[in-house]
A and B are shown apart, each in its own frame.
Chain A
Amino acid sequence: MDFNFTDEQNMVRDGISRLIREQYDWDTRREVIASETGWRPELWAQLAELGMLAAPFSEEDGGFGGGATETMLIMEEFGKGLAIEPFIPSVVCAGGFLKYGGSAAQKEEYLAGIISGEMIFAFAYAEPRGRYDLADLQTTAKADGGDYVLNGHKAVVIGAPWATHFVVTARTAGDQRDRSGVSVFIVDKNADGVSLRDYGTVDGRRASEVYFENVKVAGDALIGEADNGLPLIEQVVDEATAAVCAEATGAMKVTNEMTLDYSRQRKQFGTPIGSFQVLQHRMADMLMEYEQSVSMSYLATIRLSEDVATRKEAVSSAKVRIGQAARFIGQNAIQTHGGMGMTDELAVGSYFKRLSIIEGEFGSVDHHMRRHIRLNAAA
């Protein structure tokens, strides 16, 4: 048993932590979010320069030999600063698909681009009526000679406005919710028939509805096996889920610190509100929720490389626990701040909003509870 990080991992953490501290002060973040494009491409370039986009890849794949732990450390810091950059869609998701399912040629063509930051991927998987079910797909890809033709509508694709490419899940065979018949494709954003409807999100990011209308892709756009993409999708989404869990713990940590600070400064009835026992116990509960969440984030990260059932159980356990903690901490942080917590002026409101959205990202508490129950039943 060892909960220490290697020197290399500590370097990754220090590097990203410094970047976030220096580049993500509160006012800058607000300005960036409100700007036309809603982000800073130059910061993405800086992340690439620092090697952050290479951190979770093996040396053969052009990375630094890291993996899920590096992702966890980076995402914790993202969470602390409420960074909006599409690390999960581009590096964890698209990078993950290529890492586990990509051919040598695909890796050469795309992984290098992801790591250098020149290519930015969004992950187009969710559909308007599919909720969190990864196999509930109405988007189709029909074989046409050696090519495929895609049709469908992907919902709330995070980071799509900033992306150059998409990883798209589509049905190549079977019925809407069948586990088989699902395939994964790479689609250039500029391909004919791809259209986007861009918008902002309530937690300060950008997303799009993405429409595919008779979009033709070559056969080599397929990642992994045709019709048998779901296991790969589940693995990658579990990694993304673990990453968002780590992000949540970072956001919770800062949220708790801000709340504690505020309770020391804010005086009512001639005394800091932190002296009221009901608020003390609440903050004690918030701390416990945070510590339990960190434990679950570690657990999920550690178990990502184990057998499928173990991996799924750990990731779902983590997402349930962290989803619940995210709500508890977010709501109680606002409550403890009183009216100030309701304003757009203080950072705490944005942490609350991000934590609220994280609750549902890659599956809500209910979704992962159901998966946990099914795994138990199958064991």
Chain B
Amino acid sequence: MNLEFTAEENAFRDEVREFIKNNYPDNIEGRGVQDELSPEDMTAWHKILGKKGWSVPAWPTEFGGTGWTPTQRYIWSEENARVNAVMPLPFGVAMVGPVIYTFGNDEQKEQHLPGIRDGSVWWCQGYSEPGAGSDLASLKTTAVRDGDDYIINGQKTWTTLAQHADWGFFLCRTDPDAAKPQQGISFILVDMKTPGIEVRPIKLIDGGHEVNEVWLTDVRVPASNLIGQENMGWTYAKFLLAHERSGIAGVARSKRGVEQLKDIAAKELLDGKPLVEDMGFARKISQLEIDLSALEITELRTLAGEQAGKGPGPESSLLKVKGTEIQQRLTELTLEAVGYYGTPDFRSFPEDGSNDFPIGPDYAHHAAPTYFNMRKTSIYGGSNEIQRNIITKMILGL
């Protein structure tokens, strides 16, 4: 047993570190809060990586993957997190891409995979509905076959960044009479410019606009946009959910978050001394770091299993639950650290650009909204209750 990287792995790390240093776009360096980034900012790194051939490392090489080992992929995400890089959005690269290359036909692969790789096509995920969240299989949006088309009707919700999306992948009911709700669902690709689609913003508690309602009224899409077989969509959706495990825990990003928290706690004062020297606060930071190293090794053990050919399993639930708890804890401690300057709403600051009246330190401006916003992580991607149900059922066998 050892945790050392091999010489090749170290060389690889140096290579990617150098590449990131030389190529990461200056104008988004150090910026991470989604809401402040323009759509161009959000895809800038993706496009650069696309040119380099590094935008879809986990894909099979025949579809443009890098052929990196899980360890190399781990190093890759670590190095990106070090600079707080704005990574390619998951909807194309980690979600619909793998479904298309696994279950799609040749035309679909040809049509869609290049745009996902190079970051030119923006995807959104149309799964959840007002009545179908944790119980996704109860979804009601219908797709009815009409000649060479499907006609889609229904409403999706919580659709992340659909306001910028060119395409969406939707779960629709194609057989309302199927014996079980999981049967009779199909996986359909939809051009978001198709008439009958209306995207309505949902404002979240942090004031940002990252999710939407997507209303579909008589939306006519070619039947050739169906992935795989009709009524088999649930299988593909489940494949997708289990597929992308690396990164689900967000370890690299949280490590970087701990460093930022320490920086803040070194600048903030308590009794005239740096907050980070206070035993009470220092203890909280240490606890967080300890939990994070446990998670890191757990993730590495999972990666090693994957390298040895073990398929994705329910341990990803553990990574999701513990990973999100740590991400949320980070935001709690950051809000605590900034004290009263967590209270001002930076969205309401005067916009005259004058610096004569700074309203607290810059690092405090996002502390509260980020804390509020990160509550989402234990809700989406299968809520943490649902993840515990999975562990109970699949691992404990209860």
- List A contacts of B344 (CB < 8 A): 156, 199-202, 207
- List A contacts of B135 (CB < 8 A): 268-270
Q: Is A116 an interface residue (CB 8 A)?
A: no
CA distance A124 to B63 in the complex (A): 63
- List B contacts of A364 (CB < 8 A): 336, 339
CB proximity to A under 8 Å, residues B200-224:
202-205, 207, 211
CB proximity to A under 8 Å, residues B178-234:
202-205, 207, 211
Q: Is B350 an interface residue (CB 8 A)?
A: yes
- Minimum Cβ distance to chain A for residue B212 (Å): 11
CA distance A364 to B341 in the complex (A): 13
Q: Is A334 an interface residue (CB 8 A)?
A: yes
- List A contacts of B368 (CB < 8 A): 202, 353, 356-357
Query: Quick one: given A197-B359, A268-B135, are A370 and B205 in contact (CB under 8 Å)?
Result: no
- Minimum Cβ distance to chain A for residue B308 (Å): 34
CA distance A357 to B368 in the complex (A): 9
- List A contacts of B339 (CB < 8 A): 131-132, 360, 364
Q: Is B369 an interface residue (CB 8 A)?
A: yes
- B272–A343 touching, CB < 8 Å: no
- A338–B272 touching, CB < 8 Å: no
A-B contacts at CB below 8 angstroms, number: 141
- List B contacts of A339 (CB < 8 A): 128, 133, 157-158, 211, 376, 379-380
- A207–B268 touching, CB < 8 Å: no
Interface residues on B, range: 35 or more
- B372–A352 touching, CB < 8 Å: yes
Q: Is A341 an interface residue (CB 8 A)?
A: yes
- B343–A202 touching, CB < 8 Å: yes
- Minimum Cβ distance to chain A for residue B132 (Å): 8
- List A contacts of B204 (CB < 8 A): 342-344
Q: Is A276 an interface residue (CB 8 A)?
A: yes
Q: Is B161 an interface residue (CB 8 A)?
A: no
Q: Is B24 an interface residue (CB 8 A)?
A: no
A363 nearest CB neighbor, chain B only: B339
CA distance A269 to B379 in the complex (A): 16
- B271–A344 touching, CB < 8 Å: no
- List B contacts of A268 (CB < 8 A): 133-135, 138
Interface string of B314-340 (1 = CB under 8 A from A): 000000000000000000100110011
CB proximity to B under 8 Å, residues A151-165:
155-156
Other A-B pairs beyond A131-B340, A339-B128, A360-B340, 11, CB < 8 Å: A126-B340, A136-B272, A200-B347, A202-B343, A202-B369, A202-B372, A207-B344, A334-B205, A334-B375, A349-B205, A366-B280
19 residue pairs A–B, Cβ–Cβ below 8 Å: A130-B269, A136-B272, A155-B340, A156-B341, A176-B272, A199-B345, A199-B349, A199-B350, A202-B369, A268-B134, A268-B138, A339-B128, A343-B202, A344-B203, A350-B205, A353-B368, A357-B343, A360-B343, A364-B339
